[in-house]
Chains A and B, each alone.
Chain A
Amino acid sequence: MTQAEIKLCSLLLQEHFGEIVEKIGVHLIRTGSQPLRVIAHDTGTSLDQVKKALCVLIQHNLVIYQVHKRGVVEYEAQCNRVLRMLRYPRYIYTAKTLYSDTGELIVEELLLNGKMTMSAVVKKVADRLTETMEDGKTMDYAEVSNTFVRLVDTHFVQRCPLVPATENSDTGPPPPAPTLVINEKDRYLVPKLSLIGKGKRRRSSDEDATGEPKAKRPKQSTDNKEPIPDDGIYWQANLDRFHQHFRDQAIVSAVANRMDQTSSEIVRTMLRMSEVTTPSGAPFTQPLSSNEIFRSLPVGYNISKQVLDQYLTLLADDPLEFVGKSGDSGGGMYVINLHKALGSLATATLESVVQERFGSRCARIFRLVLQKKHLEQKQVEDFAMIPAKEAKDMLYKMLSENFISLQEIPKTPDHAPSRTFYLYTVNILSAARMLLHRCYKSVANLIERRQFETKENKRLLEKSQRVEAIIASMQATGAEEAQLQEIEEMITAPERQQLETLKRNVNKLDACEIQVDETIFLLESYIESTMKRQ
């Protein structure tokens, strides 16, 4: 893994799980597969803490273990999975748009806890929803279960590999670690549970605002006495399916930008029809006939068959080649070229970056070289209609930043420079990789800056939190307006200003992280799709 990725993983792990887990996680990412004792020795942490850290990491699917010969168990970190933690808010928001609040909370619980049993998820989500409802109303478990089942049916949630049931445990010493297996058919099989119950509202006496020691509250009484019907069956969020959804969204919005709303609806219909039939890494969807598409169009769209055919022909003829025609039966068989679509999106990202960094003339040269594949310096100046000196300057600038590369074509075997052609070209895959690496660095910088800003103003933040707590408690016990005013004045006007600035900056940095992550997703998808084809 590159240094930038390791740095980003380190920051993410630290924010989510604290420093000990971060140390262990980063060490595993750096050094690969290692057994327990070596980890403890190399990182200098005590064995207990290493064990705890590994338990947390395994629970969240960030580390896997493997039993090697002689019974040694080795642990390996999944760097790519750690980077996904940046995208959690987007997953949760997607679940909200598709399955409303219930779906949102289910996915949130699954992401926060790594893996959970269905009954645990349903109970927790029902409790949380009940909190937000009006007094007297509660959320029924059945409703939450239904949403859960729908999430599983559309593959957004999947089963974790299971511990194999051992029939005979006397055949020798038990293995040092279980080997988890999953049958692909059972991946989305929901056990028959009858979860009856309603969400519980937390008793208001527990929500003590006077700062009574919370440690006195008894441990949450879980229903451990009753046997859990789906014990051992754990569920996790299926991130690949979310990625598929994001990819489809990106393609549909690209078509909408390029053409119009109707064509984007047609493309959306085609993608929806291929959701279950096409495996996630396929370069193009299964062929769909025009008749099928016509039948599956959403109910509100009243376009006639001829208009649909015209749209499809237009889409297929478009130079971007999002849609391709693969045959003539059934009124015309059409496929969506997923790989080409991702390629176009990645290229568009590159063009946009060049434009914003170097100016529109540079962008013109870049698009020119992209289109013509290989160009000599003289040809660039001629085609782009830019004076020679400026064109050279821009080309060298882009060359030094690795957006453009040089291809040497020697005329003679001795590669003499005077007798060699030097052609400028854009290698999309390597430029995408370079940009992705830069994105990781950017996000790491953003997180560091945000942490720095927060640390600088730590004293002020703590003070404002205390004041808020005092105000809240005074309001609860009924205080006069004048007293509240007095407390509020504890924070002076310049301090308020400072807090405002801090809040604005932190919001901006957070929003930046989220949007850089969208670029990261596009580039990663393109690179992954290209690697799969090779």
Chain B
Amino acid sequence: MAGNKGRGRAAYTFNIEAVGFSRGDKLPDVVLKPPPLFPDTDYKPVPLKTGESEDYVLALKQELRETVKRMPYFVETPEEKQDIERYSKRYMKVYKEEWIPDWRRLPRELMPRKKCKKAGAKSKKAEDAGKGPSLTNPVDVLKKIEELEKKGEGEKSDEENEEKEGGKEKSKEGDDDEEDDAAEQEEYDEEEQEEENDYINSYFEDGDDFGADSDDNMDEATY
């Protein structure tokens, strides 16, 4: 694709005058850096509108900004624990109204689960009446673990718990979906489990055992 380079003079395919400069003109330097962050403007901006209504809207805006901070919808970020607890912090807490949404209008999964174990155990026992065999009750699970502990398999209690969780999921998966009300209990326990490990339980929905199969195909660990 060398074309006519080196032979005779280069010829442009269009009228060079049209672009705005002629041949041999000194062109401005090539810009090698991005444009400045705060470029100078030739023309200063037009002054803002002023008047009674503008002032009123401005005041409204500023008041609104302050008001929204005090509403219950403003969710505060939980502060990290400070080294020294300041005495004055107790007395400077802003009082905020509690807001309870209308749960009838929201998806059920958004309701917060009560973390009260005693009440939870009672309600779960009540629900248990409608459920199938025993694997679904964490109280039962705990009892089983105790029994197994006595048999000397105490160190595996965590695994047992997880496997039981996996088992519950398998049994439940056929009937309802995860978010369904019937799986409320499992969700509660799942949440507890979730905070302890990094894996989303849904990854293992299809009956995969947690990490159990991965060793089978690896021949490397035979030192």
Interface residues of A (CB under 8 A from B): 15-21, 36-37, 41, 46-49, 51-56, 58-60, 65, 67, 70-73, 88-90, 92-93, 96, 108, 112-114, 163, 173-174, 176-178, 180, 211, 213-215, 217, 219-220, 232, 234, 356-359, 377, 389, 392-393, 396, 416-418, 420, 422, 507-508, 510-515
Contacts and interface: CB of A to CB of B under 8 A. Distances in A.
Interface in B68-118: 68, 71, 73-77, 90-91, 93-95, 97-98, 101-102, 104-112
Given A93-B56, A176-B107, A214-B93, A418 B15 contact: yes
Contact of A514 (B41, B57, B73, B93): B57
B48 A177 contact: no
Contacts of B61: 88-89, 510, 513-514
B107 A417 contact: no
B108 A213 contact: no
A52 B110 CA distance: 8
A426 to B, nearest CB: 20
B179 interface: yes
A217 B95 contact: yes
A202 B20 CA distance: 75
A211 B97 CA distance: 18
B74 to A, nearest CB: 5
Contacts of A514: 54, 57-58, 61
A73 B179 contact: yes
Nearest to A57: B73
Given A217-B95, A515-B48, A359 B43 contact: yes
B53 interface: yes
B163 to A, nearest CB: 22
B208 interface: no
A401 B108 CA distance: 50
Given A176-B179, A356-B43, A389-B20, A37 B200 contact: yes
B179 A213 contact: no
Given A55-B106, A377-B18, A18 B58 contact: no
Interface residues of B, number: 60
A60 B179 contact: no
Nearest to A66: B107
27 contacts: A16-B74, A18-B77, A36-B109, A52-B112, A53-B75, A59-B73, A59-B101, A65-B106, A67-B107, A70-B177, A73-B179, A108-B64, A112-B67, A113-B71, A174-B108, A176-B108, A176-B109, A176-B179, A176-B180, A177-B107, A211-B91, A219-B97, A356-B46, A357-B43, A393-B20, A418-B14, A511-B48
Contact of B60 (A53, A56, A93, A396): A93
Given A112-B68, A512-B48, A89 B57 contact: yes
Specify the main secondary structure of chain B where it touches its partner.
Answer: loop
Interface in B144-184: 176-177, 179-182
B78 to A, nearest CB: 9
A47 B190 CA distance: 11
A393 B21 CA distance: 11
B107 A89 contact: no
Interface of B: 12-15, 18, 20, 41-43, 45-46, 48-49, 53-54, 56-58, 60-62, 64-65, 67-68, 71, 73-77, 90-91, 93-95, 97-98, 101-102, 104-112, 176-177, 179-182, 191, 194-195, 200, 202
A88 B64 contact: yes
A236 B104 CA distance: 17
A163 B48 CA distance: 47
B13 A417 contact: yes
Contacts of B14: 416-418, 420
A89 B53 CA distance: 11
Nearest to B97: A220
B56 A173 contact: no
A101 to B, nearest CB: 12
B68 A16 contact: yes
A174 B181 contact: yes
A463 B146 CA distance: 60
Contacts of B42: 358-359
A93 B57 contact: yes
Given A58-B106, A211-B91, A173 B182 contact: yes
Given A51-B110, A55-B110, A65-B107, A72 B13 contact: no
A449 B61 CA distance: 16
Given A92-B60, A417-B13, A213 B180 contact: no
Q: Looking at A36, A420, A514, which has the most chain B CB atoms within 10 Å of its CB?
A: A514
Nearest to A16: B68
Contacts of B202: 37
A416 B13 CA distance: 7
Q: Looking at B46, B105, B111, which has the most chain A CB atoms within 10 Å of its CB?
A: B105
A49 B108 CA distance: 16
B176 A71 contact: yes
Given A89-B60, A357-B43, A56 B75 contact: yes
Nearest to B48: A511
A393 B42 CA distance: 15
Contacts of A358: 42-43
B120 to A, nearest CB: 16
A377 B56 CA distance: 49
Contact of B194 (A47, A215, A357, A511): A47
Contacts of A232: 102, 104
Given A56-B73, A510-B62, A511-B54, A418 B13 contact: yes
Contacts of A420: 14
Nearest to B15: A418
A359 B60 CA distance: 35
Contacts of A51: 109-112
Given A163-B105, A176-B108, A178-B106, 12 more contacts: A18-B74, A51-B112, A89-B64, A93-B56, A112-B64, A174-B108, A174-B181, A217-B95, A389-B20, A392-B20, A422-B18, A514-B61
Contact of A17 (B54, B62, B73, B191): B73
A422 B14 CA distance: 12
A65 B102 CA distance: 15
A177 B176 contact: no
